[in-house]
Amino acid sequence: MRLRVSAALILAVAGAISISCGGIVDPSQNNVTTHTGTVPVGSNVKIQFSASKTGELNVKVGTLSPASSAVIGVLWVQAGDGSCNGNLLQNNQFATANTTAISAQIQSGTYCIVMYDVGAFTQAENFSVTISRP
């Protein structure tokens, strides 16, 4: 009997701790932002964002123009000192319009998405990208 009470107490304490820490965010409750910009030939555009809790990250390339069939690179990095030069977390060198480029678990912190020319642009590309995170 004493063992059952101890196990129940441990589970109750663990549940209370996970709730007080915020727990994992359901993806349907994520913050979703859309960013636009222009990636020059041979260059990149950095987008800094924060995740408030642990949950799922989803980065979707919306549009590319003028070449809607262009391939664009998408990096997910830790922001580090705010310069977007932190650790590389994920790289997709073959992202296209209307596709998910990055999908992963994310912990609270500050990060960057870097949209870049993989060496295929013949002209600057306008883009939209949607970032969904807790």
- In this structure, are residues 106 and 134 in contact, taking their beta carbons and an 8 Å threshold? yes
21 to 30, 41, 54, 81: CA distances (angstroms): 17, 44, 10, 25
- pLDDT tens, residue by residue, 106-134: 999 999 999 999 999 999 999 999 999 99
User: What percent of the chain clears pLDDT 70, i.e. is strictly above it?
Assistant: 83
Phi, psi angle pair for 45, to nearest 5°: -130, 130
Give residue 22's pLDDT band: very low, low, confident or very high (50, 70, 90): low
How far apart (Å, rounded) are the C-alpha atoms in residues 45 and 72? Answer: 11
Q: What is the pLDDT of residue 21?
A: 52
- In this structure, are residues 47 and 131 in contact, taking their beta carbons and an 8 Å threshold? yes
pLDDT at residue 15 is higher than 90 = no
pLDDT at residue 73 is higher than 60 = yes
CATH architecture of structural domain 24-133: Sandwich (2.60)
pTM: 0.81
Rounded to an integer, the average pLDDT of 66-75 is 96
Rounded to an integer, the average pLDDT of 84-109 is 96
Task: Report the chain's terminal Cα–Cα distance, integer Å.
Answer: 41
